[in-house]
Every structure is written in C-alpha cells, then in structure tokens.
A and B are shown apart, each in its own frame.
Chain A
Amino acid sequence: MIRTVVLQVWSLWWREMKRFWRQPSRVVGAVLQPIVFWLLLGMGLNGSFRPPGAFPTMTYMEYFYPGVVLLVLLFTAIFSTISTIEDRRQGFLQGVLVAPISPLVIVLGQCLGSTTLALLEGAVFLLLAGTAGIKLNLVAALSTLGVMAIIGMGLSGLGLTIAWRMESTQGFHAIMNLILIPSWLLSGAFFPVAGVPSWFRWIMQGNPLTYDMGLLRSALYMGSSKMVSASSGPENITVSIIVAAIFTLFAFACAVTMARREASGVRA
C-alpha cells in the first residue's frame, strides 16, 4: 500500500522533471526571466530608492533581490499550473484519474514536482546573491532553501487549486494578472511596507505572500547582524513561519479538494 503510494508519487514527480528538461525554452526562460527582471528594475530604480529606516546603506538591488527569489517561485508554480491545464485539455489527466490513485496522491506528486523545479531554479538564482550585496553563509543558504520549499509547496498548491477548475489557459492568464502578480507586488517584494498609506498597509498585511516574503528575507540574512530587521513588514519571524505554514497547508488542502471533485466526476 505504502509502496504503491511512493511509486505513484515518484512517477508523477519524475514526469514533471522529464517534461521540464525536454522543453529547453522553459528551462532557459525560468532562470533568465527573473534575472532580467531583477537587473532592469533593480538598476532602474536603484537611484530613487529610499531604504527602510534600519538600513541606510541598502541598495535597491539588494532590497529587490529576495523579491525576485519569490518571483522565481511564483513563476515555477505558474508554469506547473499551465501544464496541468494542458494535461486536462489534451486528455492526459483522464488516464491518471481512472487509475487506482487517490486525488491526494496526485496533488502531492504534482506539488513535489513543481516545488523541486522551484528549488532548482531558486538555487541557481541564489548564486547571484553576492552581486546583490548579500553574503550568504551556509546556514543562511540552507534555511533559504528550506523556506523556498515551504513557499514553493504553497504556491504550487495555489496554482493547482486554480488549474483543477480551469478549462483553458486563457482563463488562467486572467487570474494570473488579476490575482497572482498583484499579490506578489503587494508582498513587500517590490517596495517596503514602511512609507505606504495605512489603508494600503492593511492590504499588504492581509496578503499571505507578505509573510512568505518576510520569511525569505529573514532566511537570507540568517546569522548576520542585519537579520532581525531585514524583514520589510511588521511581522516577526515566528508569525511569518506560522502564517506561511498555514497558507501552504491551506493551499494544498484546497488543491486536493478540487482534484477530488474532478475525480468523482461532480464537475462533469
């Protein structure tokens, strides 16, 4: 029983890997796009950036860097979501649904695949931390990877929740532009919470990605003196960990619920 589940998860995961490597444009795009983003926006806004109070010396390139890490994770989740929608449109998913496999296992396999890709791409991007002025020590690098795994699972879960309901990729693009990208913009990835009007701050504080963002910043500065106040938001690390974990579990549970509905044919 357990062996079968492991085998099923493994084969779903393995397929995600295979498909990723067989689409070279996806590999290159996934790594290059965020880097281009970071360089263009980072250099463009570097001059006009006023760093949050605690760090008068922080450049925008450095401030924006963790935000781009989050963007890398978000893009990977989005790619996996699109491939799930394609799977359904082409009929591949039906073949999975008639197999003796639980919807929970399907979602687990998909999320692990997507998270692995997110980690791989994130790790490549972490190599550039030095150029942003962030000195990564081993502890910081490892905790960053750990945090990326949690966030990656959450974003994949969110993406799959949407994907299992979507008929077309066009519909998904609308959701992406209306919800996912704005959530990223309002997470403290792009600009600090300090200095925005208070109603705006509330929106940011209600955004789960804000806590993912804070956790990521804390992890990148783990063990360095900047650590405590590096997080842009009002939150402390404990709150961030709790909110991020709850968000990940919640997103995963939603994706399983959607998959279960599809598997039982209710949607048909």
Chain B
Amino acid sequence: MDGKPLPNLSSVALVEREEAPCAVEARDLRFSYGRKEVLRGISFTIGAGEVFAFLGPNASGKTTLFKILSTLLPAPQGSLTILGYDVARSSATLRRSLGVVFQNSAVDTKLSVVENLRYHGNLYGLWGVELRERIKVMLDLLGLSESADARVETLSGGYRRRVELAKALLHEPAILILDEPSSGLDPEARRDFFNYLLRLRASKSVTVVLTTHDMEEAERCDRVGVLHQGQLVAVGTAGDLKRSVGGDVVVIKAQRPEMLQMKLQQRFGLHVAIVDGRLRIEAPKGHLLVAEIVEAFGSEVESISFGRPTLEDVFTHLTGQRFSASSDDDWSL
C-alpha cells in the first residue's frame, strides 16, 4: 500500500479487509426525514479502487445517500462501514480518509486557487513543505498550474469544479465521494472533468463514489447502482444492466395507444407496456418485430423506433417509469 493514509485497523480487521477488499459496505440502510422515509433498505458493497455511480432521478434518495456517506448526516439505521470503519462510531477518524465534492461550490470565490488549497490543507493538518508540494502536484494533475493565483470568482464553471476536485484530493483520501459532479457543466467540460477523474483514479488508486442523473456519466463508471424511490433496484456494470433488458426496445407512438396495446398483445403474445403515452416492447429481434407490426397495424402507428437498450431503458424496464418523467418534488433536501 503506497503510503496513502490507511486507517489504523486492528490486525483482525485488516485480515478481513484483505479477503474482501471492500471500500464501502452497506446493509439495509434506512433513513427518514421526519415521517418521510427517504432510504428504504439499501444494501450494496463498493470495492476498493472502483468507480461507482448511483444513478437516479430527483427524489430517488441519492443526495441523502451522499450526505450519509460523507458523514454530513447522522448514521442511519442499518449498518454502514467505510474502509472498515463503522460510520456510526468513528466518523471523526474516518473523515481523514474521505474526500468530498459537493454539488454546490465549496470553495471560497474571494480566495485564489492556491489560497483555497492551502486553507483546506491546513484544516486537514497539512502544512509547510509537504503541503506546498502536494498543492503543486494537484495543480499539475488537474491542469490548474496557470490559474494558481487567480481568484476563483474569475474562473469558469469547469475550472471551478476542478479546483473542488483538487481540494478534495489534497489530503490523499482513500475514497472520493462526489454529488452530481457534472451538474451545471456544459457537455465538453463534463467529459473533461470525467477524464480528470479517471486519470486520478489511475494515478492515486482512489475509490470513487458519485451520484448522478446523467446516463452518459453513469456509463463511464465501473458499476452503476440504480436508485428509485429510496430503493436500490439494480446494481451492475452498464453492460450487464443493459443485457438484463432482454434484446431490443421498440417504442411506438400511436393515436390510440390502449387499443393498439390490446391488439399487439393478442397478435404477438408480447408484453406491451405504456410509458408516458407510448407503447414500449422489449423483444429479442427488434428489427423483425418492427417490420411485422408495421405490416399488420401500419395505419394505426404514427411512428415506430427500435434500438439497443440504454441505461434509460434499464430504468424504465425496472421501474415502469420514464427516467426524466420522475417528479421533481425533492426529497433529497
């Protein structure tokens, strides 16, 4: 283990960790704001060095989960260990090994990039030559060297997010936790940011846990956990999840969807769902099915399309709802 601050585990715990190198282990997490149950029994494990995304629409509970993982909310019901620490008991020690990037900017815009990093380093007990060197490494790694002395308020959104990242990684955490890291960034800055993230993972062997509602971002992670109304409905690689849908996805727009749904079910014996006013069929050979449907019911079809399943289709497959159509009432606070 290359000199990164490892938790002081007892030898027994260390053996357990080596058998199953697990960065985060959650069993049956539950959390409520008052009477509103926001997390309803979530279990998962995240391996050391993994890049893991929690994908979910608003109000799916992902921000609450982020806050619990980053020790901002009190330990919930159920058990949660991070790096072998029980979060309920040792959050102070644990915090040293966590790097947290918030959705809202947590840098001081009146300070320069270096001043922000120095401030943050001091809070984690870093100073002097060591701190100066780490700041330099971070600036190089994140392409910030030239803006080192610029005040953060003069930087663009993409740069600011990189400053956040530099700040969160300065004390060399074993786990990096990010809440919607790409929100508010344009597509280019988004890709850019993610490339930096992957590069950091490679060079610092840090475990990355992030929340997102961006499909493209989720696809680039090692594994994805799909959150829906406070429950984890699926966990796996993006590829596995898509394969679970079962073939292709055919979507039909029709003037009278219910009528066509009945006819299609009678004729082909398929399960036909109506999602957001459109007919949706999952079938192994989509292109053949499209031809057959058009042949038989062409006059009732306004438009028809088929494609390989995306993560959005996975979500619909699992929940029966469209991803973006989820309500905006924000449980996450």
Contacts and interface: CB of A to CB of B under 8 A. Distances in A.
Interface of A: 3-4, 7-8, 10-11, 14-15, 18-19, 22-23, 90-92, 94-101, 264-266, 268
A127 B33 CA distance: 54
A5 to B, nearest CB: 9
Contacts of A8: 122-123, 125
Contact of A100 (B72, B92, B333): B92
Given A90-B105, A98-B100, A11 B333 contact: no
A19 B107 CA distance: 13
7 contacts: A4-B125, A19-B110, A91-B105, A98-B100, A99-B120, A100-B123, A265-B72
A92 B108 contact: yes
Contacts of B98: 98
Interface in B83-112: 92-93, 95-96, 98, 100, 102-108, 110-111
B118 interface: yes
A30 B12 CA distance: 59
A94 B106 contact: yes
B329 to A, nearest CB: 17
Given A11-B123, A98-B100, A19 B108 contact: yes
B72 A94 contact: yes
A4 B111 CA distance: 22
Given A7-B127, A15-B111, A18-B115, A97 B72 contact: yes
B153 to A, nearest CB: 10
B111 A18 contact: yes
B125 A7 contact: yes
A99 B119 CA distance: 11
A19 B153 CA distance: 13
A92 B163 CA distance: 13
Please give me the 10 A-B residue pairs with the lowest Cβ-Cβ distance, nearest first. Answer: A91-B104, A95-B106, A11-B122, A4-B125, A265-B73, A100-B95, A99-B123, A98-B100, A7-B122, A265-B74
B40 interface: no
Given A7-B125, A11-B118, 19 more contacts: A10-B122, A11-B122, A11-B123, A14-B119, A15-B111, A18-B111, A90-B104, A91-B102, A94-B72, A94-B104, A95-B100, A95-B120, A97-B72, A98-B98, A98-B100, A99-B120, A100-B96, A100-B123, A265-B74
A221 to B, nearest CB: 40
A11 B73 contact: no
B199 to A, nearest CB: 23
A104 to B, nearest CB: 12
Contacts of A23: 110
Contacts of A100: 92-93, 95-96, 123-125
Contact of A11 (B74, B92, B100, B119): B119
B167 interface: yes
Contacts of B111: 15, 18-19
A247 B267 CA distance: 83
A94 B106 CA distance: 7
A40 B116 CA distance: 42
B70 interface: yes
B92 A264 contact: no
A166 B163 CA distance: 28
Contact of B110 (A3, A11, A22, A98): A22
Best-surrounded residue of B67, B98, B108 (most CB of chain A within 10 A): B108
Contacts of A19: 108, 110-111
A19 B33 CA distance: 36
Contacts of B147: none
Nearest to B131: A7
A10 to B, nearest CB: 7
A100 to B, nearest CB: 4
Contacts of A4: 125
A95 to B, nearest CB: 3
B71 interface: yes
Contacts of B333: 268
B222 to A, nearest CB: 24
Contacts of A265: 67, 72-74
A224 to B, nearest CB: 43
Nearest to B99: A98
A94 B100 CA distance: 9
B110 A95 contact: no
Nearest to B71: A98
A268 B73 contact: yes
Given A11-B119, A100-B95, A94 B102 contact: yes
